[in-house]
């Protein structure tokens, strides 16, 4: 049977990948958090175990169980079996894995979240779950005290594509309600 991955960040945005049979799903017992590792200068999304928490995301097939391209894309992460923690509509249920950062040693004194990455993540949640899903994304993610680097004029995120003004405003409105600052 074809295995699947569970994406909870940029992989929720179907425009960032071409994996087949993508569909909404949720992961129980984990929460999203912003982390920094030796592999990257910027802070990015990971998941960590958290009892009584469930996060929205997207599952998609990994054709031929060929994980090489996805493992390369997610090189800063470790792939782990999700077991029965992923809820979805597929029957019979495939094996599902997700990625998590295991090495979170901080490497800079001035960590930041790249806004172009966050924009793409939020756009994916908006398309899959609507505005309520975007609100759940922000509420179920830890680490918002990390500053945001506004790179919209020259996006640093490799899979970035232009958002609409309404999508940008949605991101900005949620950020305004958080303890983070945009620089």
Does 182 map to a domain?
Answer: no
Residue-level pLDDT, tens digit, the chain, 183 residues: 899 999 999 999 999 999 999 999 999 999 999 988 776 778 889 999 999 999 999 999 999 999 998 999 888 888 999 989 999 999 999 999 999 988 766 556 678 999 999 999 999 999 999 999 999 999 999 999 989 999 999 999 999 999 999 999 999 999 999 988 888
Query: What confidence score (pLDDT) does residue 104 get?
Result: 62
Q: Look at the chain and report how many structural domains it folds into.
A: 1
CA distance 4 to 93: 10
Nearest C-alpha neighbor of 105 from the set 156, 45, 40: 40
In a domain, 183, yes or no: no
pLDDT of residue 180: 85
In a domain, 86, yes or no: yes
Q: Please give the residue range of the domain that contains residue 12.
A: 4-176
Looking at residue 109, its pLDDT comes to: 66
Asked if residue 155 is part of any domain, the answer here is yes
- Own/partner contacts of 98-102, CB < 8 Å, gap of 24 or more, are 98/5, 98/6, 98/7, 98/8, 98/27, 98/30, 98/47, 98/57, 99/5, 99/46, 99/74, 100/30, 100/46, 100/47, 100/48, 101/35, 101/37, 101/46, 101/76, 101/77, 102/77, 102/78
CATH number of the domain within which 134 lies: 3.10.490.10
Is residue 76 assigned to a domain? yes
Q: pTM surpassing 0.95?
A: no
Residues 45, 26: Cα–Cα separation, whole Å:
16
The answer to whether position 181 is within a domain reads no
């Amino acid at each position: 049977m074809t295995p699947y991955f569970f994406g909870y960040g940029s992989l929720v945005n179907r425009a960032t990948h071409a994996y087949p049979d993508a569909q909404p799903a949720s992961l129980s017992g984990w929460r999203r958090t912003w982390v920094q590792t030796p592999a990257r200068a910027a802070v990015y999304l990971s998941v960590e175990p958290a009892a009584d928490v469930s996060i929205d995301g997207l599952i998609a097939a990994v054709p031929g169980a060929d994980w090489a391209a996805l493992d390369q894309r997610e090189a800063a992460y470790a792939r782990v079996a999700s077991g029965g923690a992923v809820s979805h509509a597929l029957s019979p249920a495939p094996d599902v894995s997700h990625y998590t950062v295991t090495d979170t040693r901080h490497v800079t004194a001035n960590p930041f979240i790249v806004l172009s990455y966050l924009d793409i993540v939020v756009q994916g949640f908006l398309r899959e779950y609507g505005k309520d899903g975007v609100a759940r994304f922000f509420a179920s993610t830890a680490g918002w005290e990390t500053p945001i680097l506004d790179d919209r004029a020259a996006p640093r995120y490799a899979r970035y594509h232009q958002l609409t003004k309404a999508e940008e405003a949605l991101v900005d409105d949620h950020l305004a309600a958080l303890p983070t600052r945009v620089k």
